[in-house]
Each structure stands twice: as structure tokens, then as C-alpha cells.
Amino acid sequence: MAAHSLPLAQACSTRSLKRLLNDLTTLYISNRTRISRGVYLALFLIVTNRIRNTIKEQKAAAARVAEARRRGPSTGPAQEKTEATGRKKVELNREFFRSLGKLLRICIPGWKSTELRLLGSYSVFLVLRTLISLYVAELDGQLVSSLVKGKGKAFAKGLVWWMIVAVPATFTNSMVSCVASCCRVRLAADTSRSSRGTRPP
């Protein structure tokens, strides 16, 4: 009797697991847009909070440096340590944006430059890779749903499409790596020529 009840219990547990996977897959597919929006909103809030904390820390460091300068020079080790720490801090002030503008003019000398075309191509391939990733994620959901529901034809069709999409996905990833390498070499050459004071050919 116990020998017959063991396979029955295993079959019931397998069915309950399949039913649970089916319910989870159906729930995800029906609420996929809401889940994606919730994830994007959470990421946006996290990034915003980090930026706000960074700005607060920089303002506090600038206030401490200004207070130390207002008190006057001091030869104490604590004052020297505070001034050294203040010099190491990077602040988002006018000098920072002025240096950033000079660096951008060095890296991108003009609207018709090769660097700008490389950056545009890099952005296009990144967007294309994102779209392909979203489509692959959708195909994965369809494959799991077909596998859980026992639809063999739909699963085989989705698997074929998944293999077909692998071709442009591989090409896009290769182009992203290639364009990134070209951008890195070109920008390094521009900064080197600028440091030597020579003009690009």
C-alpha cells in the first residue's frame, strides 16, 4: 500500500508544481507592463536618491572648506588634514563644467567629425541591442508558457524563432564591441594630440 501511495504523491507534487509555474507565468504575462514600470520607477528613485546624497556630501565638504578658510591659516595637523581632504574632493562647480566642456571639444571637434559618427553608431547599436533583449525576454516567456501548457508546436516554433533572433543579436553585440573599441582608440588619440599640442590630420 505504501509502495502505491509513493508514486501517487510524486505525481500530485509534480502536478501542483506545474500548476504553480503556470499560474506564475500567466500572472507575469498579464502584469508584465506594470512590473516593468515598477522596476523602472524603483531604479529611477534609487538613482535620484544617490545623486541627491552625493550633492549633499559635496555641499557639506565645500561648506567645511569655506569655514576652514574663513577661520584663517593654521599650522595644526587637523587643519592640514582638512585642507588636504578638501583638495581631494571633486565638486560640481563652474570649474568642473568648464573642464568638461574643454574635454568634450577635444573629443568631439565638430558636427561632421568621425568621433561624433562613431558615438552616433554606438548609440544606435545600443538601442538595437536593448530592443533585441526585450524581444528575447518575450520569447523566453512564450517558451516557458508553451512548455508549461504542453504545447509542443508552439514551443518548437518559439525555439526556432529564438535561434533565428540569435543571428542579429550576435551581430549587434559584435558591432557594439567593435564601435566601442574604435571610439576608445579615436578618443585616446585625440587626447594625446591635444596634450602634445598638435592638430589632428
Cell of 9: 504523491
Residue 191 · residue 107 · CB < 8 Å: yes
Whole-model pTM? 0.46
Question: Which parts of the chain have pLDDT scores under 70?
Answer: 1-14, 72-92, 197-201
* Side-chain half-sphere exposure of 90, counting CA atoms within 13 A: 5
Q: What single-letter DSSP state applies at residue 111?
A: T
pLDDT of residue 90: 60
Q: At what angle do helices 77-88 and 32-71 cross, to 10 degrees?
A: 140
The answer to whether 143 and 159 are in contact (CB under 8 A) is yes
Spell out a b/e string for 148-168, using b for 16 or more CB atoms within 10 Å of the CB, else e: beeeeeebeebeeebeeeeee
- How high is the pLDDT of residue 197? 63
**Average pLDDT value over all residues in the chain:** 77
Task: Pull the grid cell for residue 118.
Answer: 562613431
Note whether 29 and 138 are within 8 A (CB): no
Is residue 85 within 8 Å of residue 146, measured between CB atoms?
A: no
Q: According to the model, what pLDDT value does residue 21 have?
A: 77
| C-alpha to C-alpha distance for 59 and 26, rounded to whole angstroms | 49
Q: What is the pLDDT of residue 127?
A: 92
State residue 154's pLDDT score: 83
Q: Which residues contact 173 (CB under 8 A, 6 or more apart)?
A: 129
What element of type H or E holds 196? helix 152-196
Write down the pLDDT at residue 157: 86
Nearest to 64 by CA among 42, 43, 45, 88: 88
